Structure 1
Amino acid sequence: MTKPTIFTLMGPTASGKTALAMALSDRYPIDIISVDSALIYRGMDIGTAKTSKAELQRYPHQLIDIKDPLESYSAADFRQDALAAIKISLNKGRIPLLVGGTMLYFKALLDGLSPLPPADENIRQKIEAQAAKEGWRAIHQELTKVDPISAERIHPNDPQRLNRALEVYLITGRSLTELTQDKGDSLEYNVMQFAVSCDDRELLHQRIELRFMQMLAQGFENEVKELMIRGDLNLNLPSMRCVGYRQMWEYLSGDISYDEMVFKGVCATRQLAKRQITWLRGWKHPIHWINSDNQKNFFNLFSQALDE
């Protein structure tokens, strides 16, 4: 029996993925499924360059605005939600198109996930308490003893990943490195993958800077002020570590100047794009490379894929 086909559209931030997906939706019965770890959060619209409400009404996106910024959301959560959205789309006779730049989510979906244990809040709190007393470098040193490979990969100033790696060992008695060698269930679909090429890096950098300035003009500062007023958010949360939000938070807290915020925000976004491109260049799955400025070529490739 022939497996159903799903489609992916990947690429770095500001490369034009969403515009391509919406243009494609004008021609085909597409269901857009977001693959973006920032767009999941409600109340974080401007700084994430979230599709406007008017556009979302015309081009509905799945897996947008599904979490409060206080909540956590893992790659495993994404895979479960994405598979459910794909199934619903196929059952309606439509075409699932997964669009975004969170490569870890794409990898979780396509390659499966290792059988890692769920989070244990008690253990996490103990690790955080130890870190508050001794510092995260002490946690990093402890991780080095039980999982040197993960310790080498994780920066000593990355509390979230350090906590998780040590937590996994304390729960299971096995290292994160060991457990991640085992993969979960494979994907039950054929996958046709497209990715936006970014050969002109300078043009991409210009787009990133322009978009950041547009965010500022649209009220990004006030958006972060509203998040700070809540009183229950902080910079250690995954939501507030999203590109741009950390820098704006630091500015509003008086830690950096406005100009520093702009400079650091643009630089952080460029660094994110660089990491995304690196992921794509090393992607082990076959990719059809496209240019965001050449919609006709993309449409032709997509049409050929549907006919195969």
Structure 2
Amino acid sequence: MYIITGQTATGKTNLAYELAKKHKGEIINFDSRQIYQKLNIITGKQVFPDVKTHLIDIVDPKEQFSSFDFANSAKRIINYLIRHNIMPILVGGTYLYLKHLLYGIDTKVPADWKLREELGKKSVKQLQDILKKHSVQTFERLNQSDRNNPHRLIRKIEIYSTHLTFPERKKTNYFPGKYNYKLIGLRFKSNESLKKAIEKRVEQRVRNGAFQEVKHLIKQGYKSTDPGMQTIGYKQLIQYYSGTISRDEALQQWITKEVQYAKRQYTFMKKDKNIKWKSI
């Protein structure tokens, strides 16, 4: 099977589609933004009439969907496709999802119910601050959904509170080890080409109706505090509609946040020695 990952705006989905057509496969999405329903234009969601895509449009923007949820769902789909002789083509840029699927999730640390009860009384912001005190790097590796998921934050804090080293933590490997896979990463040759690609993409999505999409979501009752609405682009345009920033400021912040996100993606992914990189 193939796994396509890498920086945002590098054409991962198009490559996945080509591979799916060539090998008569099906696509499994691991972009944490495209799992949300109704978030179509700004996320650049692509649905192909001749290739089935899994784990897309499955969660309401008000709901949480963690890397744990993804790993469980993806494993089930992969096993199903393999049993039916269909090649899975995984594609996305949410490395935390991929990491948990390929390399497992910490499970040895037992539940500390007293600690959970104490932490359960705290706000998401307070939980975020506590986790940052334990490990800023761990917090920064979380996707937006996990950052705003109190259960995921509490579990991370619980693990760090034991002071166990990583080798002491047992991992549950979600990925079926008997299956061979090719892991391909797409990245930009330079930061300049990255910024140009992001600017071009934001301009295109504005032309496609990004502002209208956000306005419609606001009318439906969605707010900036909803997990899905924390997505880059939506967050900035909501600020524009609330009157806190201008249209130009919203667009510039959107571009800046996308560029920063793409840089962080490569920072985390380049540590994975299994990824075979291709520059574009």
- State the TM-score, normalized to the length of structure 2: 0.84
Tell me the residue number matched to 2:99.
Answer: 107
The question of whether the paired residues in 2 share the 8 Å contact of 1:140 and 1:151 is answered with: no
What is the correspondence of 1:72-151 to structure 2 with a 5 Å cutoff? Answer: 72-115=64-107, 126-128=121-123, 136=125, 143=130, 148-150=133-135
Matched, 1:13 2:8: yes
Question: Kindly tell me: are residues 123 and 226 of structure 1, through their superposed partners in 2, closer, same or farther at Cα, counting changes over 3 Å?
Answer: farther
Q: CA deviation at 1:254?
A: 0.5
Q: Matched residue of 2:266: which SS?
A: helix
What stretches of structure 2 of length at least 5 have no aligned partner? Answer: none
Tell me the residue number matched to 1:37.
Answer: 32
Tell me the residue number matched to 2:18.
Answer: 23
Question: Kindly tell me: are residues 93 and 123 of structure 1, through their superposed partners in 2, closer, same or farther at Cα, counting changes over 3 Å?
Answer: farther
* From 181, 197, 201, the counterpart of 1:211: 201
The question of whether the paired residues in 2 share the 8 Å contact of 1:150 and 1:176 is answered with: no
Q: Matched residue of 1:27: which SS?
A: helix
- State the TM-score, normalized to the length of structure 1: 0.77
Aligned residue identity for 2:202: F
Question: Kindly tell me: are residues 186 and 105 of structure 1, through their superposed partners in 2, closer, same or farther at Cα, counting changes over 3 Å?
Answer: closer
- Which structure: larger Rg? 1
Q: CA deviation at 1:113?
A: 1.0
- The alignment's C-alpha RMSD in Å is 3.2
Q: CA deviation at 1:123?
A: 6.7
Q: CA deviation at 1:193?
A: 0.6
* From 172, 183, 204, the counterpart of 1:193: 183
Tell me the residue number matched to 1:167.
Answer: 154
Question: Kindly tell me: are residues 241 and 122 of structure 1, through their superposed partners in 2, closer, same or farther at Cα, counting changes over 3 Å?
Answer: farther
What stretches of structure 1 of length at least 5 have no aligned partner? Answer: 1-5, 293-308
Identity rate, percent: 31
Matched residue pairs, number? Answer: 269
| 1:112-156 per-position Cα deviation (integer Å, ceiling 9, x unaligned) | 112276xx998776212xx7xxxx4x6667x37xx943367548x
Q: CA deviation at 1:176?
A: 7.3
Tell me the residue number matched to 2:238.
Answer: 249
Matched, 1:270 2:259: yes
